[in-house]
Structure 1
Amino acid sequence: MAPSKKKHATKQACVIPEGFAVLPLQFSPDSAARHSLYVKEHKVRAEKTSYRPLDRTLFVLNIPPYCSRSVIKDLFSQFGVVASVELRDVPGSFQESGPKLSKIFRPAAKQGFKVGYIVFESSSSVAAAKSHPHDEPLVVSTEQKPVKTGVQKWIQQYTKSIIHPDKLQQMVDSFMQDYDKRQEEEAERQRQEAEKQQEDEEGWVKVTRGHKGAKARPHSEAANQRTLQREARKKRRKELMNFYTWQHKNTQKEHIAELRRKFEEDKQRIALMRAQRKFKPY
């Protein structure tokens, strides 16, 4: 017997404005409540990175807090092989900030709904996820792969947070070794740049002929630091000269005031002598 048209219509995907497809989410098989995920193909042309290929990346909104990276990977593995899963608090470009830290040294992640970027091995997996029927929910917690919530989740997180001192010491030693190595590499790079760009006190750079086709070297960080130091020295000398100029002007003003005071005293003395008729200029 052929299936009815009404039943066939329920197998269609639900697409809302802005091109998002609705994927129903159900926490457990016997749960009556459902949650909705909104997915569409990631198409940000301005983002030129290999971590989110435009033809194999699925952009997901409204991911609940109980869905971790591993849970999201298991849910979307039914559409194809998942290469990577990235969860963020807000949409944004991919950014690598500093060295990769252990979970012990990373700050605690914020709890709340997140957005995700799921990268598949094949571009057909993105189309399969977008065309998933809206009446067939994705089940988060199953008997084979249960997801703990509430008190059980807190107990599990507390148990994982307890680390053996020896293992913690190994992580700290490994991190410090990597840090010392990066510091040595940075010091060596600065030393080489300082040797390449030897500047005199007037700021001239000795230029040597390089190989054919070599591009001009931009000012290094060490050269910029030396320039800033020279400017600071010039500024201090200028301030000192201004101080001496002010002191000289102040001395001149005091000298002129003293002369004026003596001139007034002499005028008073001459007036007194005239009054006493003892003034004989000739």
Structure 2
Amino acid sequence: MALPNKKHARIQASVSPEGFTVLSLQFSSDSPARHSVFVKEHKVRAQKSSGRPLDRTLFVLNIPPYCSEAVVKDLFSQFGSVRSVELRDHPGSFEESGPKLSRFFKPAEKQGFKVGYVVFESPSSVAAAKSHPHDEPLVVCTELRPVKTGVQKWIQQYSRSFIHTEELQQTVDSFMQDYDKRKEEEAEREKQEAEKQQEDEEGWIKVTRGHKGAKARPHSEAANQRVLQREKNKKMRKELLNFYSWQHKKTQKEHIAELRKKFEEDKQRIALMRAQRKFRPY
């Protein structure tokens, strides 16, 4: 009875104490060396983005440098249909804002082990990947999926580094068209918001009905400042000036001090003009 138990223990997947399942990678079928990657279900409640669904995303650690996104997708496709693969240098939030840059304008990737997020079409594929036996390695390089390394990889990267002028021009034109379109949409959106916040002479704001499900937008800061300034001006016009005798005396003193200051300035100006009008025959 001991042999079946040992066989069953050998078939079961090896689970690390941190909750990761260990999967074995083998570069080729005749390679004696094996590499271990660690996988577990992606469960980050703070991320509610559709790019990484919580029930269909597999988090992978220790991906070797020779595994590209296409290679990782082919490796995990045996567990089910893969929708997308994302490789990064460090774990982080999903980035979906902003335009997607072309390969010509992307910075050089760091060479090293990476982390990955594999998104499947079905939740059962995540469970299938986690239950894969550790003794059955996933073969990276096959006849149908050759992976180049060493000098062949360097030659391939060098040949891809040359950029064709026509392809680069098409990429630039496409990017600029998307950029102009985004700018036009931004300007139109700002114009609509300005029209919504536009006030008439009496300070009323025209309220228009937005699209279905839109929430009411509060007044802008500039509109609030204009309303406060208008109320302040009204309050100043209503105040009685020089109503009390001490207010009248204070106003007279300030007026006399202002006249004396101007008189002194005029005296200095006249003295300067006289000094400049001296007779100079030579």
Name the TM-score, length of structure 1 as normaliser.
Answer: 0.72
Match of 2:63 in 1: 63
Task: Give the letter for the 1:196 counterpart.
Answer: K
Q: What does 1:147-158 align with in structure 2 at a 5 Å threshold?
A: 147-158=147-158
Match of 2:18 in 1: 18
**CA deviation vs aligned residue, 1:200-225 (integer Å, no higher than 9, x gap):** 89xx95322444997432355xx659
Q: CA–CA distance in 1 between the matches of 2:28 and 2:214?
A: 63
Give how far 1:4 is off: 3.8
Q: What does 1:80-95 align with in structure 2 at a 5 Å threshold?
A: 80-95=80-95
1:122 aligned onto 2:122:
yes
Larger Rg: 1
Deviates more, 1:190-199 or 1:119-128: 190-199
Is the Cα contact below 8 Å between 1:199 and 1:206 reproduced in 2?
yes
Is the Cα contact below 8 Å between 2:196 and 2:206 reproduced in 1?
no
Give how far 1:9 is off: 2.2
1:208 to 196, 206, 209: 206
Match of 1:235 in 2: none
Is the Cα contact below 8 Å between 1:198 and 1:205 reproduced in 2?
no
Give how far 1:155 is off: 1.1
SS, match of residue 18 in structure 1: coil
Task: Give the letter for the 2:155 counterpart.
Answer: I
Give how far 1:132 is off: 0.9
Give how far 1:14 is off: 0.1
Task: Give the letter for the 2:90 counterpart.
Answer: V
Give how far 1:98 is off: 1.1
1:110 aligned onto 2:81:
no
Q: What does 1:240-255 align with in structure 2 at a 5 Å threshold?
A: none
Task: Give the letter for the 1:169 counterpart.
Answer: Q
Match of 2:138 in 1: 138
Q: CA–CA distance in 2 between the matches of 1:227 and 1:155?
A: 64
Match of 1:266 in 2: none
Q: Measured at CA, do residues 181 and 209 of structure 1 come closer, stay the same or move farther in structure 2, by a change above 3 Å?
A: closer
Q: CA–CA distance in 1 between the matches of 2:203 and 2:44?
A: 44
SS, match of residue 142 in structure 1: coil
Match of 2:235 in 1: none
1:170 aligned onto 2:166:
no
Is the Cα contact below 8 Å between 2:76 and 2:129 reproduced in 1?
yes
Q: CA–CA distance in 1 between the matches of 2:208 and 2:191?
A: 19
Give how far 1:138 is off: 0.9
Is the Cα contact below 8 Å between 1:65 and 1:113 reproduced in 2?
yes
Q: CA–CA distance in 1 between the matches of 2:215 and 2:140?
A: 56
Match of 1:51 in 2: 51
Match of 1:243 in 2: none
Give how far 1:180 is off: 1.5
CA RMSD of aligned residues (A): 3.0
Is the Cα contact below 8 Å between 2:197 and 2:206 reproduced in 1?
no
Is the Cα contact below 8 Å between 1:76 and 1:82 reproduced in 2?
yes
**Percent of counterpart pairs with the same letter?**
72
Q: CA–CA distance in 1 between the matches of 2:86 and 2:214?
A: 40
Name the TM-score, length of structure 2 as normaliser.
Answer: 0.72
Q: Measured at CA, do residues 214 and 126 of structure 1 come closer, stay the same or move farther in structure 2, by a change above 3 Å?
A: closer
Aligned length: 229
SS, match of residue 141 in structure 2: coil
Q: CA–CA distance in 1 between the matches of 2:166 and 2:183?
A: 26
**CA deviation vs aligned residue, 1:95-138 (integer Å, no higher than 9, x gap):** 22311121112222222111111111111111111111111111
Give how far 1:191 is off: 2.2
